[in-house]
Amino acid sequence: MTIGRLLCEAGAALRQAGIAEARLEARLLLSHALGVSREALLRDADRTVEAEKEVQFRDMLRRRCAREPLALITGHTGFWTLDLEVSPDTLIPRPDSEAVVRLALALAPNPARILDLGTGTGCLLLAVLAERMGAWGVGLDLRAGAAAVARRNAERNGLAGRCVTLAGDWGAALAGQFDLLLSNPPYIESEAVAELMPEVARFEPGSALDGGADGLDAYRALLADLPRLLTPGGVAVLEVGMGQAEPVRALGEGKGLIFLAQEADFGGIPRAVAFKAIGETPQTY
């Protein structure tokens, strides 16, 4: 079968499965299966696909029609300036989370030590390390499989020499202090997890999604520990869900932290909030 015919059939199948950008995803799947660019697919639409490659593509298409995320099928995704491995042990990095990176870079121009709690793929830590060449970081995740993915992503992006990734329960095993703390904690209300889109509810780790009855359990644990984990004047930047910026701000101020700023995602939703520990005031934002 030709490339053009396969793309046509795949687009129709994906539309029927409820995939919003069916034509684009058909091209992404086929370009991955054939190991060629999307431009090459258009240029060589009349080329006949080898039988083995067609079987591989149809298996990938079947998985996507079952609503398995595209990134899990291809095994990687882009975030910031990085290309990252993903696995069922990790959340798939999303552009919304880049708000955390933007705010961290604005508020912490020269961090020496960075901590990423619930690191997952390592996307937040590695994105900031890529921009702050003098920094060194630690990424922790409760899931050993996620810590291993983050470690491989550090190697994949040439940053392994400036960070370590470990399995651990938040900051419980840490005794040192950090100039910058990053986190994208679980923040979905428990009852709402099952109502998320199938790609998330069925394929991404529940422990990285479920934030308790009101979605704020992880923030209560994190914010209580921040005064111990941050250097005087150190900055913490946390991702938050829709409508959570003000409740998380109140929780942080209740723990004696100073609220600094918030940052919206590309949809205009407040997605990151920043606090500082008592001490020297960092550069204004």
Beta bridge partner(s), residue 139: 116, 165
CB atoms within 10 A of CB 213: 10
CA dist., res. 120 & res. 140, Å (int): 8
Cβ(228)–Cβ(181) below 8 Å = no
CA dist., res. 153 & res. 90, Å (int): 12
* Residue 279: predicted pLDDT: 65
The crossing angle, in degrees rounded to 10, of helices 123-131 and 144-156 is 30
In this prediction, what percent of the chain has a pLDDT beyond 70? 98
**For residue range 32-75, what is the model confidence (pLDDT) as tens digits?**
999 998 888 888 888 899 999 999 999 999 999 999 999 999 99
- For the cut 50, the answer to whether the pLDDT of residue 283 exceeds it is no
Average pLDDT over residues 122-130: 98
CA distances to 55, 116, 201 from 255, rounded to whole Å, are 57, 20, 32
Higher pLDDT, 172 or 195: 195
Average pLDDT over residues 84-106: 96
Cβ(47)–Cβ(2) below 8 Å = yes
CA distances to 85, 177, 215 from 281, rounded to whole Å, are 37, 17, 30
* CB-count burial class (<10 Å; 0-12, 13-18, 19+) for 172: exposed
* Residue 280: predicted pLDDT: 54
* Displacement of CA 267 from its chain's centroid (Å): 17
Higher pLDDT, 93 or 282: 93
Cβ(158)–Cβ(223) below 8 Å = no
CA distances to 119, 123, 185, 253 from 126, rounded to whole Å, are 10, 5, 17, 28
Please provide the average confidence, as pLDDT, over all residues in the chain. 93
**For residue range 138-166, what is the model confidence (pLDDT) as tens digits?**
999 999 999 999 999 999 999 999 999 99
pTM: 0.91
- For the cut 70, the answer to whether the pLDDT of residue 284 exceeds it is no
pLDDT class for 241, splitting at 50, 70, 90? very high
Average pLDDT over residues 250-262: 94
In the block, residue with structure tokens 């995602």? 265
pLDDT class for 1, splitting at 50, 70, 90? confident
b/e 39-54 (16+ beta carbons within 10 angstroms → b): eebeeeeeeebeeeeb
- For the cut 80, the answer to whether the pLDDT of residue 285 exceeds it is no
8-state DSSP, 89: T
CA distances to 5, 14, 97, 161, 221 from 2, rounded to whole Å, are 5, 18, 39, 45, 55
- For the cut 50, the answer to whether the pLDDT of residue 276 exceeds it is yes
- For the cut 60, the answer to whether the pLDDT of residue 83 exceeds it is yes
8-state DSSP, 181: E
* Residue 44: predicted pLDDT: 84
